[in-house]
């Protein structure tokens, strides 16, 4: 379990006053396994930080679920389209384990971005870190084959392999479960 102060500090160290502004907008919320945090059909003004648990990001394409991300302790979860454009996003965020998250109303953060430079810089750093993660993921998908993508996942997030059902890992890697089983056998 990670407390909100540590999550804030890991994103970008700020003064006690700025940290308190962020913390005062947050509330701890428990979610049961299977809960949907964010639905692609609605504008979602919530921003979540995971204290304990696991969340899967996915979308549906031709009635098939396609997993594009896993979020674990310390990670931020939000609908970026809702956050930036105040429009429904394309993603669904589902809780994979009973979880404790810190929920922030992004509209409060937006107010602080205007009036508090430290909070604004913290938000910029958060966005930059999210962009780097996305860039790494795009590069891996563009230049690595399925086996190498699996090995990269093992290297960077071994806990995902242990905590996530194989069907979601296969979807995340862009392969079917049979191919994932063969790759796992070869890697062992």
Q: What is the CATH number of the domain that holds 14?
A: 2.60.120.10
* Same domain assignment for residues 151 and 63: no
* Same domain assignment for residues 69 and 34: yes
- For residue 73, what are the domain limits? 4-142
* Same domain assignment for residues 59 and 47: yes
Q: Where are the alpha helices (DSSP H) in 63-105?
A: 80-85
In this predicted model, what pLDDT tens digit does every residue of 81-97 receive, in sequence order? Answer: 888 898 999 899 999 99
* Same domain assignment for residues 113 and 162: no
* Same domain assignment for residues 133 and 180: no
Let me know the angle formed at the C-alpha of 31 by 30 and 32, rounded to the nearest 5 degrees: 125
CB 50 within 8 A of CB 93: no
* Same domain assignment for residues 98 and 170: no
pLDDT of residue 107: 87
Answer whether 0.85 is exceeded by the pTM: yes
| Count of domains forming the chain | 2
Distances (CA, A) of 69 to 100, 117, 133: 18, 30, 10
Tally Cβ neighbours within 10 Å of residue 57.
20
pLDDT of residue 145: 92
In this predicted model, what pLDDT tens digit does every residue of 41-77 receive, in sequence order? Answer: 899 999 999 999 999 999 998 889 999 999 999 999 9
* Same domain assignment for residues 39 and 91: yes
User: How far does CA 186 lie from the centroid of its chain?
Assistant: 29
* Same domain assignment for residues 180 and 153: yes
pLDDT of residue 158: 93
* Same domain assignment for residues 60 and 136: yes
């Amino acid at each position: 379990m990670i407390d909100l102060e540590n999550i804030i500090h890991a994103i970008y160290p700020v003064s006690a006053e700025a940290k308190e502004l962020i913390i005062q907008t947050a509330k701890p919320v428990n979610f049961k396994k299977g809960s949907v945090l964010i639905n692609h059909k609605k504008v979602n003004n919530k921003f979540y930080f995971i204290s304990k648990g696991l969340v899967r990001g996915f979308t549906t394409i031709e009635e098939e679920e396609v997993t594009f991300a896993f979020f674990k302790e310390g990670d931020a979860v939000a609908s970026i389209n809702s956050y930036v454009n105040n429009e429904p996003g394309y993603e669904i965020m589902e809780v994979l384990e009973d979880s404790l998250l810190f929920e922030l109303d992004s509209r409060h953060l937006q107010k602080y971005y205007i009036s508090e430079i430290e909070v604004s810089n913290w938000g910029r750093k958060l966005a930059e870190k999210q962009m780097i993660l996305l860039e790494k993921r795009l590069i891996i998908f563009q230049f690595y084959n399925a086996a190498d993508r699996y090995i990269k996942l093992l290297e960077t997030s071994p806990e995902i392999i242990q905590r996530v059902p194989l069907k979601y890992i296969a979807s995340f890697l862009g392969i079917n479960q049979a191919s994932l089983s063969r790759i796992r056998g070869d890697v062992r």
